[in-house]
Amino acid sequence: MKKIIAAVLIATLTLTLFAACGNKKSDETETTKYGLAPNHNGEPVKPYAEFDSNLTDAKEFKNADGKVVYKVEYDVPWLNDTYSEEAKTQFNNYIQAEFIDTALAFAENNVKNVRPDETEPRTIKISYEPVYKLDNVLSVVISTAYSSQSSINVYRTFNLDNGFVLHAEEFFTENVEETKEAIFDTLLPEAAALLPEDSKVSAEEKNALAAEKLAAGFDSASFYITDSYIAFIYNISAFSEGMGAGAGTHEFILDMTTCSNLGITNDPAVLKAK
């Protein structure tokens, strides 16, 4: 396993160096809808997929005087009758509980905090973009904007056969703990670069801290797949103290050659085999 990790690290660093030299212009100009950086090949990180099964609605919240002071507007992925009853129930209940109900509860709990002199209702907007779509797999990013300056992006990958959220371990082909260890070792240089600069911290100490934060901040449900790479998503706040979830996310992208060496597949067929 250590030999594999070493080989992967060399390949990853080489790709990064070539990308830095050959795609500097792309890195400076290409962005996606959510302001995310390009991948190591200079291409946008997400090939947006087609997915037209959604739920759109809005709810209003009034204060004691009957004035509308909060609105929650949402356009979320929502399985329709073309999917199985099990998939619809599981998927839609998850979206309802994790995103819609969370925003509705926030608005309801904060009605009393709206100042009487505010002329327009405060608005929470939930939107989504499909990232990758196959017959039985959907990767999607759902964004909840609590204001024009603050939004929280959540990435999830679903098994559309049953509606359940998939976890990265379900795409591991080798020992789970060894694979995680190999992933963290591969991501270490990039993670260390996310830490705030501190002249008092040695390179060895910085790497140790980055390794600790990689392990602590790993969310096996926070990833997406594509044909050519897998991205593991971390909140920026995991690497910088004092920052909230609204600070954004960072995508650690592993190309499929690297994934194969680490014992990770992007083949949804493995789901049927397990």
Q: Kindly report, residue by residue over 95-106, the tens digit of the pLDDT.
A: 999 999 999 999
Per the CB < 8 A criterion, the answer to whether 144 and 151 are in contact is yes
* 165-191 b/e (C-beta count within 10 Å ≥ 16 → b): ebebebbbeeeeeebbbbbbbbbbebb
Strand 223-225 to 151-159 pairing:
unpaired
Residues 21 and 251: their CA atoms lie apart, in Å, by 21
pLDDT in tens, 256-270: 999 999 999 988 777
pLDDT in tens, 33-79: 333 434 444 444 455 678 889 999 999 999 999 999 999 999 999 99
Report residue 206's pLDDT band, with 50, 70 and 90 as the boundaries: very high
Angle, alpha carbons 54-89-138 (nearest 5°): 50
Q: Indicate the angle between helix axes 176-194 and 2-22, nearest 10 degrees.
A: 30
Is this prediction's pTM over 0.85?
no
Give the mean model confidence (pLDDT) for residues 223-242.
90
Per the CB < 8 A criterion, the answer to whether 78 and 97 are in contact is no
Reduced to 3 states (helix: H, G, I; strand: E, B; else coil), residue 199 is coil
Q: Provide the pLDDT for residue 50.
A: 83
Per the CB < 8 A criterion, the answer to whether 215 and 193 are in contact is no
**Alpha helix ranges (H) inside 153-253:** 176-194, 203-217
Token pair in block for residue 105: 């509860």
Which has the closest alpha carbon to 143: 159, 130, 133, 132? 130
Site of tokens 């909140």: 235
Q: Which residues pair with 251 in a beta bridge?
A: 233
